[in-house]
Structure 1
Amino acid sequence: MMLDEIDRALLKALQLDAAQSTTRLGKKLGLSQPATWRRIKRLQEIGVIRGRQLRLDAEKLGFRVTVFLGIKLATKGRVSLEDFERAIGGIPEVQTVDHVLGLYDYRLRVVARDLADFERVLRRRIMTLPGVGDVEANVLLSEERRPGPL
């Protein structure tokens, strides 16, 4: 897959604001609106652009606590990774699930209204999942850097 400088500039602009119109993007890049649209469409078709997301402010929506959980499965032989991933996918407070290499098998990003709400989610929903063994929790104090453009 060959990306030229205009493709790269287009991707950078979309990462900063995916809601921009193709007309506005085209003006920034020196392209017509149809040419900009065709490039975006091509980047979607080849899988470089996988979608556009809306980012919400969790705190303003009442989720004031973010916790990163390290989860080590107790018995990998009895419970498949797919079973765990399917079960964890049903918990809306779990924002991300990363299968990782290291001390833990999974890293989760969990949001909750407060610490009592997090404890409820942890005890009643996460700890009861198949195969959950050791769990380590790290409460997010502040987030200094947001993911930027690639």
Structure 2
Amino acid sequence: MIELDETDRAIVRALAADATLSAGALGRELGLSQPAAWRRIKRLREAGVFRGARLDLDGAALGFGVTVFLGVKLAAKGRASLGDFERAVQAIPEVQTVEHILGMYDYRLRVVARDVPDFERVLRRRIMALPGVGSVDANVLLSEERRPGPLG
């Protein structure tokens, strides 16, 4: 784990808000020179603080009007069945996230679909056909607020 000072934490917060900021813009915002900001960003990246950059896509604007969280309980558990399930579920394009969890279910999936009939098709033809699936519980997303987590 890397030691972060207040400037490092400010860099992390700024880049979490806008990952497109250049080292020069970030330096101006934080009172650093462009080379100093660049060196700090490089050090944070090399330490593994940043895992990459992503676009935040608007599913509705792309025609995906329904988001469903699925709790999946496997019928049989073991290394082979977990691995088979994980490999198979990652091949389904409508599945945005796959989380192996502890509790009532073995996995939590975030699934997007164009509408409810499209979700039913994905559920019946793709998800229920996955190796090892025992039971599934669905929760339809009504609204979502983005809350930043604790950063530095």
TM-score normalized with structure 1 length: 0.96
Q: How does 1:7-26 map to 2 (within 5 A)?
A: 7-26=8-27
* SS of residue in 1 equivalent to 2:11: helix
* CA distance in 2 between partners of 1:36 and 1:137 (Å): 45
Q: How does 1:1-150 map to 2 (within 5 A)?
A: 1-77=2-78, 79-143=80-144, 145-150=145-150
Letter paired with 2:87: R
Q: What percent identity do the matched residue pairs reach?
A: 69
Superposed CA offset, 1:16-43 (max 9, x none): 1111111110011111111111111111
* CA distance in 2 between partners of 1:78 and 1:16 (Å): 38
Displacement of 1:142 after TM fit?
A: 1.0
* SS of residue in 2 equivalent to 1:80: helix
* CA distance in 1 between partners of 2:135 and 2:79 (Å): 16
Displacement of 1:78 after TM fit?
A: 8.2
TM-score normalized with structure 2 length: 0.94
Letter paired with 1:4: D
Over the residues paired in the alignment, what is the CA RMSD in angstroms?
1.2
Superposed CA offset, 1:29-65 (max 9, x none): 1111111111111111110111111111000000000
Question: Which runs of no fewer than 5 residues in structure 1 stay unpaired?
Answer: none
Q: Say if 1:65 and 1:112, in contact at 8 Å, map to a contact too.
A: yes
Q: Say if 1:67 and 1:138, in contact at 8 Å, map to a contact too.
A: yes
Q: Say if 2:81 and 2:131, in contact at 8 Å, map to a contact too.
A: no
Displacement of 1:77 after TM fit?
A: 3.8
Displacement of 1:103 after TM fit?
A: 0.4
* CA distance in 2 between partners of 1:77 and 1:21 (Å): 47
Displacement of 1:149 after TM fit?
A: 4.5
Displacement of 1:79 after TM fit?
A: 4.4
Q: Say if 1:79 and 1:130, in contact at 8 Å, map to a contact too.
A: no
* CA distance in 1 between partners of 2:147 and 2:39 (Å): 27
* CA distance in 2 between partners of 1:33 and 1:80 (Å): 50
Letter paired with 1:36: A
* SS of residue in 2 equivalent to 1:40: helix
* CA distance in 1 between partners of 2:60 and 2:121 (Å): 18
